[in-house]
Amino acid sequence: MRPTDIAISNYRSIRRLFMPIQPLSVFVGENGVGKSNLYKSLSLLRDAATGQITRTIADEGGLNSVSWSGIRKRGEDGRLRLAARFDHIRYSIELGFPGPLEAAFSGEPMIKSETIETTHGKRKVLLMERTNSLVSVRGESGAWSKHKDAVLPSETALAGFSDGKECPEIDLIRNAMLGWRFYHDFRTDPASPIRKPCLAITTPSLGADGHDLAAVLATLYAIRQDTTDLQDAIEDAFPGAELRAWEENGRCEFGLQLEDMPRPFKAHELSDGTLKYICLLAVFMGYRLPSFIALNEPETSLHPSLLAPLARLIAKASRRADIWIVTHSEPLMEALRGESSVPPRRVIKAKGATAIEGLMLSGEFRDEENDDGEDDEA
């Protein structure tokens, strides 16, 4: 299941956003407009599937730190709300502070509500509803079953409550969101695990920190035994270079032979930018891509000459997975514009809130021009 749209309310600089998920979504903007908050809000939503959402919020300073940072209207509850739709199935979650009679630590983020609903035409049917610690599930017959104290206020029903017979959609959504991958940055310091051999285990996609980079590359060489696309991508970025990955004594390693060098360089010898680009190769060319991949400023540490090859890499991967890119690089944006029919979207601040140019309340983007060249007033 691939996400079709998301909704975010009261998260940091995001007052309210509802937007579609396309095969390739590119968001570009200046520093301070809230680009990273788009990325972080999706990562936080994925934490609902792992059951770690309240812990993540607490680790970031609590609800006061992650809630809407602007002015609130009188009487507004200010709850943090996140939602994702998968075709006809929608999951939503609300978080707030504990009430005076609720058993929780002072200031602890608490899950107030979770719902799963399905849409049949214009008709919406609620399948799961969680209010505080009470979880109600609609069975196949349409009858509701209630489960009191099924989860703690710090636990999500999505992760902590599972009854495939009563509500298989819980498992469907949880498994779909668990497959999302987020890549913020890759450590390239001398002690980084990326620079060291890793366990020889067949690895279809790169971990968030890149620790299994050598295994991902070796999987392509030893398991798939078809590296034509990978070598073409290396040639595109480093003309005349050749990448090799192998298994030896239960460990995977890789090396890069550059055209003007007498010997190949192993991971611990490569420059930070070269190593990071190889990580991005693994992200977009793994044996099996996750259904949804989000990257925050992937151009960091890369030489400008690598931005065009990176854009070609991203555009090609968007045929296999939904790709979400947040960047402040205008050159990368222009390169992606040339490689994809999906226009990059500009992130701005409007009345103190993060907004996206052309995004309407309906979740659709207003085109800058119609085919006849006139402004679109839809």
Give pLDDT tens digits for 168-189: 889 999 999 999 999 998 999 9
Q: How confident is the model at residue 48 (pLDDT cuts 50, 70, 90)?
A: very high
Contact 183, 293 (CB under 8 A): yes
For residue 255, what pLDDT band results from cuts at 50, 70 and 90? very high
Give the count of beta carbons closer than 10 Å to the beta carbon of residue 153: 18
CB 173 within 8 A of CB 49: yes
CA distance linking residue 368 with residue 358, whole number of Å = 8
Q: How far is CA 66 from CA 95, 118, 184, 317, 344, in A?
A: 11, 29, 18, 32, 27
Selection from 269, 247, 258 nearest residue 197 by Cα: 247
Confidence of residue 44 (pLDDT cuts 50, 70, 90): very high
Which range has the worst mean pLDDT, 48-52, 135-139, 277-281?
Answer: 135-139
